[in-house]
Each structure stands twice: as C-alpha cells, then as structure tokens.
Chains A and B, each alone.
Chain A
Amino acid sequence: DQQVKQNSPSLSVQEGRISILNCDYTNSMFDYFLWYKKYPAEGPTFLISISSIKDKNEDGRFTVFLNKSAKHLSLHIVPSQPGDSAVYFCAASDTNAGKSTFGDGTTLTVKP
C-alpha cells in the first residue's frame, strides 16, 4: 500500500515556463508535507514544506499548494530554469510517528 504517490515519473518543460509537480497521499494522519530535490550522485536537499493547517506556502520561485480534501499537493516552479533539472521527491509526515514517507520521485527536465 503506497501511501504517497507521484504519478508522473518525468516532466519536461521549457525554460521560463511553469513546472507543476503533483503528489497524492492516502493517509489522513499526515499533517506535514515536504518537497526535496535530488541531483545525481548527491543526497536529497530540502526545498519547501507546508503544514496541514495551511493551503499554500511560497518561497521565491517555489510554491506548494495543499488540498486536504483531495489529499493532493503540488509544487509550482515559476519561472523554471535549467538548474532546476533534478529528481523531486514529495514526502509526508505524521507528527506522532516521527518519520516521513516518500513518493517515488518525478524527474524534471528544464530545456534551455
């Protein structure tokens, strides 16, 4: 039973356009959500997070939206840059469990 799903294994966008990465979850106990970015041969690095009491969080070019009723979150990158090309992982946490569950990742390619 996969509790966190990223249904698009890959996404390709043109430089300057918007990238939208999606994530769905099934566990209603999840109350904190994070996005990580991973370059090849490196560990993931934290990008942005959102608590379940909010529906939007922005940090520069990155915005995360949370729709609790649909159990869906998305990451918007505007404008996309070639340096954004990486694997993006969605993660969800149940505060009481003390750990995060990760999705399978989406490989984003931003073309110059």
Chain B
Amino acid sequence: DVKVTQSSRYLVKRTGEKVFLECVQDMDHENMFWYRQDPGLGLRLIYFSYDVKMKEKGDIPEGYSVSREKKERFSLILESASTNQTSMYLCASSLSYRQNTEAFFGQGTRLTVV
C-alpha cells in the first residue's frame, strides 16, 4: 500500500518562528510536491522537486523554502512564519518527471500561526 506521510496533523506556531514540515514517501517516487489548500482557492503549488537536491518554484513560493536531501523525504520550511501562512499544507509524490501519472497525497498538516 503506497504511502505519503506528513510528520504532523496539526501544528500551532508563533509569528516569526521557523517552521519545518516533513514529508516521507515509501514508493521510490522521483517527484515530490508541496501544496497549500485554502477555502475558495483550491490547491496551490508552493515548490516541487523531481530529484534529490533539485527544486523548482511553484506558483506561490514566497516565504517558503524546501529541502530534499534524500529521495524519500521532502521538507517545507517557513523561514519566519506569518499569520497569512495559516493553512492546510499537503505533500504529494508521483512517479517521475515527464510521466503522466497520478499524485499520491499525504493526510495534510493544518498549520495555525498565531
């Protein structure tokens, strides 16, 4: 059974804190993604990676960075959390670059910045 696991279901952080969201997949997928989901705005891509140490900006990368040191792990970093980063964060993986296959999502992390 394929699995994408996000380290936390719920997080509460203070404004200005550095926040790490971790994601691990066990499917040997090359592609990994970070999205945020907000009401009425759908899923917006923050960053994605198609190989270890490779990263590409998505549609809304400002205020975020990512790290992919190992194939199975993709981390999202909020350098200095702000209240407008309160959201549901979803990690996903898919087979490989330039192959049309579906993405598998984690269960999501509900982040609240106070």
Contacts and interface: CB of A to CB of B under 8 A. Distances in A.
B50 A98 contact: yes
A43 B107 contact: yes
B84 to A, nearest CB: 19
A25 interface: no
Taking residues whose C-beta sits less than 8 angstroms from the other chain, chain B's interface range is 20 to 34
A79 B44 CA distance: 31
A99 B102 contact: no
B100 A95 contact: yes
Interface in B65-106: 90, 92, 97-100, 102-106
Interface residues of A, number: 26
Nearest to A6: B42
Interface of B: 4, 31, 33, 35, 40-45, 48, 50, 56, 58, 90, 92, 97-100, 102-108
Interface of A: 6, 9, 31-32, 34, 36, 41-46, 49, 51, 89, 93, 95-96, 98-105
